């Protein structure tokens, strides 16, 4: 569903007291109530489609013994500084001390197949993309609560679900602030740029929004006179919600100098939804917007769907057959499917490298922004096009102040259905526990682990500093 900025604002302001039409603002209200001076950590989740083939995440310099363990999915770990990276990862060679290649986490709790929708971020099976299937707030929203910011959680997406035409503007996203609530996301870099940075790039529009909010706030407040009971409570909640949005805007305005300092430039090719921009150009522009939003303090948590099965990859220079991500997933339908998988990941890693190098170049405290940042590059559905969801190789880039003791290593955990195996739910519990949420267990339980009566609740203790 495409929705304009003005429609979004009006629906936010005039909707129900819970602002169910725009859940991002619900999270905003919750986050502003917390201590804004608490030390911030930043998270960037990069979701990719078509799974991650485990064979492509092995190290070419493995010893015979290590290779045997890798192929037989046995638990072990090695020091990345003593090993060579796969070709598609070599762009990050100089940042090995920040890198983790994480094997062995299963996604059976969220399921494989073509899409996981919000499931891979919430550790539950979402099935089709309908509200009733959203079981809980996704982990990115939970982390955003721990590190409040003016925009709270920000979602961006190059997904084209179910083969629809390419999307622009503000559209439905995959993250969720609560059960049965959908997030909105930015579907093109120009919209993200205009919305996130308009306090300094389009002051007249920002003033217009402020005037509209002032009008709606006063209008709703006047309705309180003479009301009591449930009606008064409903209108009172709407007044409070509108005030919270006004507070958010005031906070953004106070960051004006910082926003100007980190304001990303965006090429005119991205105007009108970027119809003429190539996929690498769109990815690069989104990366610039993410860096600007993090560096200026507008958000501390970004979720970025860098592609899905419907994303057009014909503009990739390696795609001489003009094939699709979906066809590549089926492998046998085209020659060189594995090479195209590597080419796609190589383009993704170019964006991760830009994130890492740029964040390392921005001072913060006694270090850099990367010191307080965690980047997670993860598959949406597991180890392949239709799964299996028994493993889901990931790449992490973590800074010096990370609460996770994993950097600089290739780590393979026990395989699915064996003693000591860790699920996506365990992984997300670890992230939440490490950064201030003492939740006993986040996410669904794995049926295979449950049937075998293996322990599967709680964090991955060995990862915690």
Q: What is the average pLDDT value for the chain, to the nearest integer? A: 85
pLDDT at 106: 97
Q: What is the distance between the terminal CA atoms of the chain, rounded to a whole angstrom?
A: 43
pLDDT at 38: 46
Whether the pLDDT of residue 168 is over 70: the answer is yes
pLDDT band at 252 (very low <50, low <70, confident <90, very high): confident
Quote the Cα angle for 78-301-429, to 5°: 55
Tell me the mean pLDDT in the region 245-253: 67
Q: Rounded CA gap, 230 and 241, in Å? A: 16
pLDDT at 93: 97
pLDDT band at 19 (very low <50, low <70, confident <90, very high): very low
Strands 373-379 and 394-398 come out as antiparallel
Integer-rounded Cα radius of gyration of the chain: 22
Whether the pLDDT of residue 364 is over 90: the answer is yes
pLDDT at 433: 98
Which phi and psi angles does 102 have, rounded to 5°?
-110, 115
Tell me the mean pLDDT in the region 185-202: 89
Whether the pLDDT of residue 27 is over 70: the answer is no
Whether the pLDDT of residue 402 is over 90: the answer is yes
pLDDT at 35: 42
pLDDT at 240: 55
Q: For the beta carbon of residue 427, count every other beta carbon within 10 angstroms.
A: 27
Q: How far is C-alpha 41 from the chain's CA centre?
A: 14
Tell me the mean pLDDT in the region 284-300: 96
Among residues 157, 140, 158, the alpha carbon closest in space to that of 149 is found at: 140
pLDDT at 236: 54
415 secondary structure, DSSP code: P
Return the minimum-mean-pLDDT range out of 240-254, 282-296, 345-359.
240-254
Among residues 463, 158, 458, the alpha carbon closest in space to that of 282 is found at: 158
pLDDT at 7: 55
- The pLDDT tens digits for 143-160 are 999 999 999 999 999 998
Distances (CA, A) of 53 to 101, 331, 390: 13, 12, 12
Which phi and psi angles does 112 have, rounded to 5°?
-90, -145
Distances (CA, A) of 166 to 163, 172, 277, 440, 444: 8, 13, 12, 41, 33
Q: Rounded CA gap, 16 and 1, in Å? A: 19
Whether the pLDDT of residue 96 is over 70: the answer is yes
Whether the pLDDT of residue 24 is over 70: the answer is no
Q: Which residue has the higher pLDDT, 7 or 316?
A: 316
Distances (CA, A) of 94 to 44, 48, 99, 101, 278: 20, 23, 10, 15, 28
pLDDT at 238: 53
Q: Rounded CA gap, 347 and 339, in Å? A: 12
Give me the residue spans of the domains in the chain: 5-463
Q: For the beta carbon of residue 84, count every other beta carbon within 10 angstroms.
A: 13
pLDDT at 444: 98
Return the minimum-mean-pLDDT range out of 57-66, 119-128, 345-354, 366-375.
119-128
Q: Rounded CA gap, 375 and 189, in Å? A: 20
pLDDT at 129: 72
pLDDT at 255: 78
* Tokens read off for 106: 């299963």
Tell me the mean pLDDT in the region 98-126: 93
Q: Rounded CA gap, 430 and 316, in Å? A: 36
Whether the pLDDT of residue 162 is over 80: the answer is no
- The CATH code of the domain at 5-463 is 3.40.720
Among residues 377, 424, 423, 422, the alpha carbon closest in space to that of 122 is found at: 424
Return the minimum-mean-pLDDT range out of 104-113, 277-286, 453-462.
104-113
pLDDT at 14: 40
Which ranges of 297-390 does DSSP label H, i.e. alpha helix?
Answer: 325-330, 337-360
Distances (CA, A) of 175 to 123, 136, 187, 209: 12, 10, 14, 26
Q: Rounded CA gap, 273 and 240, in Å? A: 34
Contacts of 150 (CB under 8 A, 6+ apart): 28, 248, 251, 252, 255, 297, 298, 299
405 secondary structure, DSSP code: S
- The pLDDT tens digits for 42-80 are 999 999 999 999 999 999 999 999 999 999 999 999 999
Whether the pLDDT of residue 25 is over 60: the answer is no
Whether the pLDDT of residue 86 is over 60: the answer is yes
Instruction: Put residue 51 in one of left, alpha, beta given phi > 0 → left and psi -120 to 50 → alpha.
Output: left
Tell me the mean pLDDT in the region 24-46: 59
Q: Which residue has the higher pLDDT, 453 or 338?
A: 453
Tell me the mean pLDDT in the region 349-364: 97
Asked if residue 73 lies in contact with residue 412, where contact means CB atoms within 8 angstroms, the answer is: yes
Q: Rounded CA gap, 225 and 177, in Å? A: 32
Whether the pLDDT of residue 229 is over 80: the answer is no
CB pairs under 8 A, 24+ apart, for 18-25? Answer: 18/237, 19/241, 20/181, 22/184, 23/176, 23/177, 23/178, 23/181, 23/182, 23/183, 23/184, 24/151, 24/152, 24/153, 24/155, 24/177, 24/183, 24/184, 25/241, 25/244, 25/245
């Amino acid at each position: 569903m495409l929705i304009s900025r003005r429609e979004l604002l009006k629906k936010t302001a005039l909707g129900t007291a819970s602002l169910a039409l725009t859940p991002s603002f619900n999270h905003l209200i919750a986050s502003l109530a917390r201590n804004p001076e608490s030390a911030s950590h930043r998270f960037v989740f990069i979701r990719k489609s078509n799974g991650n083939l485990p064979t492509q995440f092995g190290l070419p310099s493995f010893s015979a013994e290590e290779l045997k363990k890798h192929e037989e999915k046995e638990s072990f770990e090695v020091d990345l500084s003593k090993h060579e990276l796969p070709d598609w990862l070599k762009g990050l060679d100089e940042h090995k001390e920040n890198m983790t290649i994480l094997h062995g986490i299963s996604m059976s709790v969220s399921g494989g197949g073509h899409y996981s929708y919000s499931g891979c971020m919430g550790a539950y099976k979402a099935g089709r993309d309908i509200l009733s299937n959203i079981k809980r707030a996704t982990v990115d929203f939970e982390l955003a609560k721990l590190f409040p910011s003016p925009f709270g959680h920000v979602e961006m997406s190059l997904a084209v679900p179910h083969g629809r035409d390419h999307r622009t503007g503000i559209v439905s996203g995959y993250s969720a602030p609560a059960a049965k609530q959908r997030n909105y996301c930015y579907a093109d870099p120009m919209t993200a740029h205009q919305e996130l940075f308009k306090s300094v790039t389009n002051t007249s529009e920002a003033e217009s929004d402020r005037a509209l909010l002032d009008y709606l706030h006063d209008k709703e407040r006047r309705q309180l006179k003479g009301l009591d009971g449930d009606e008064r409570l409903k209108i009172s909640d709407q007044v409070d919600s509108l005030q919270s949005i006004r507070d958010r805007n005031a906070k953004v305005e106070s960051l004006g100098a910082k926003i100007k300092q980190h304001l990303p430039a965006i090429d005119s090719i991205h105007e009108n939804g970027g119809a003429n921009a190539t996929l690498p150009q769109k990815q690069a522009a989104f990366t610039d917007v993410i860096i600007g939003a993090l560096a200026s303090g507008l958000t501390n948590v970004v979720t970025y769907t860098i592609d899905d099965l419907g994303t057009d990859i014909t503009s990739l220079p390696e795609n001489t057959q003009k094939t699709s991500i979906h066809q590549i997933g089926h492998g046998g339908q085209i020659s060189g499917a594995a090479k195209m998988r590597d080419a796609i990941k190589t383009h993704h890693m170019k964006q991760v490298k830009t994130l890492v190098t740029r964040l390392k170049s921005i001072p913060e405290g006694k270090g850099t922004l990367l010191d307080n940042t965690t980047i997670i590059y993860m598959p949406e559905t597991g180890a392949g096009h239709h799964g299996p969801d028994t493993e889901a190789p990931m790449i992490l880039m973590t800074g010096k102040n990370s609460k996770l003791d994993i950097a600089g290593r290739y780590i393979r955990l026990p395989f699915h259905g064996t003693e000591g195996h860790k699920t996506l739910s365990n992984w997300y519990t670890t992230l939440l526990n490490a950064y201030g949420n003492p939740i006993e267990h986040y996410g669904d339980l794995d049926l295979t682990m449950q049937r075998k009566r293996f322990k599967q609740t709680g964090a991955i203790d060995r990862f915690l500093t």
